[in-house]
């Protein structure tokens, strides 16, 4: 570590502490040349979890976007607001485990995870989310999706 005072690269570590629940390490150092004491921090440089858009672009996963989509689908439905947080946690965990190897997931996979969870909780919210996610263009597409829900309900 280069001394911020004299620029020498030889130092000794006087003290090390784990910080932020093990996310980083704080080290107190002393320059062997000039005796100046300074602090350095060590953190894991982790590749961010990415979402692959339909057009092939990649962007960092945004939990707020997921929350907003779920909240919109569940708006004015008899579902506790704490359920949105729980749903987001569950979906995020599933998404990260699915994309663990290369740290990315497609929006289509992510959307299907959301639909799966919403189907179990509220069928109206499921239809709302599906209509936006699957880009329903007309009434026939809505009717088809509702019939699919009815078929799934009868087969269970």
pLDDT of residue 43: 83
What's the confidence (pLDDT) of residue 155? 61
How high is the mean pLDDT of the chain? 86
pLDDT value of position 128: 86
pLDDT in tens, 28-47: 999 999 999 999 989 876 77
In percent, the amount of the chain with pLDDT more than 70 equals 96
In a domain, 4, yes or no: no
Same domain, 132 and 116: yes
Per residue in 46-96, pLDDT (tens digit) is: 778 899 998 999 999 898 998 899 999 998 888 888 788 888 888 888 888
What stretches of 24-155 show up as alpha helix (H) in DSSP? Answer: 63-74, 81-98, 107-121, 123-133, 139-155
For the residues 150-156, what does the mean pLDDT come to? 67
Q: Give domain status of residue 20, yes or no.
A: yes
Q: Is 118 a domain residue?
A: yes
Q: Into how many domains does the chain fold?
A: 2
Q: Does residue 145 belong to any structural domain of this protein?
A: yes
H or E element: which one contains 30? strand 24-31
End-to-end CA distance of the chain: 63
List b or e across 37-74, with b for residues whose CB sees 16 or more CB atoms inside 10 angstroms. Answer: eeeeeeeeeeeebbbbeeeeeeeebeeeebbebbeebb
For residue 19, the enclosing domain spans: 11-43
Of the candidates 71, 67, 73, which has an alpha carbon nearest to the alpha carbon of residue 91?
Answer: 67
């Amino acid at each position: 570590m280069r001394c911020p005072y004299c620029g020498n690269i030889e130092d000794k570590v006087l003290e090390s502490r784990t910080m932020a629940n093990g996310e980083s390490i704080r080290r107190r150092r002393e320059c062997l040349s000039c005796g100046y004491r300074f602090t350095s921090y060590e953190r894991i440089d982790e590749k961010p979890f990415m979402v692959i858009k339909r057009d092939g672009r990649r962007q960092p996963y945004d939990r707020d976007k997921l929350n907003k989509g779920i909240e919109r689908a569940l708006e004015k439905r008899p579902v506790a607001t704490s359920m949105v947080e729980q749903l987001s946690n569950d979906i995020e965990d599933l998404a990260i485990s699915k994309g663990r190897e290369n740290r990315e997931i497609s929006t289509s996979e992510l959307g299907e995870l959301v639909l799966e969870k919403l189907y179990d909780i509220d069928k109206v919210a499921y239809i709302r989310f599906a209509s936006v996610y699957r880009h329903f263009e007309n009434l026939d597409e809505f009717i088809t999706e509702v019939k699919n829900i009815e078929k799934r309900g009868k087969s269970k």
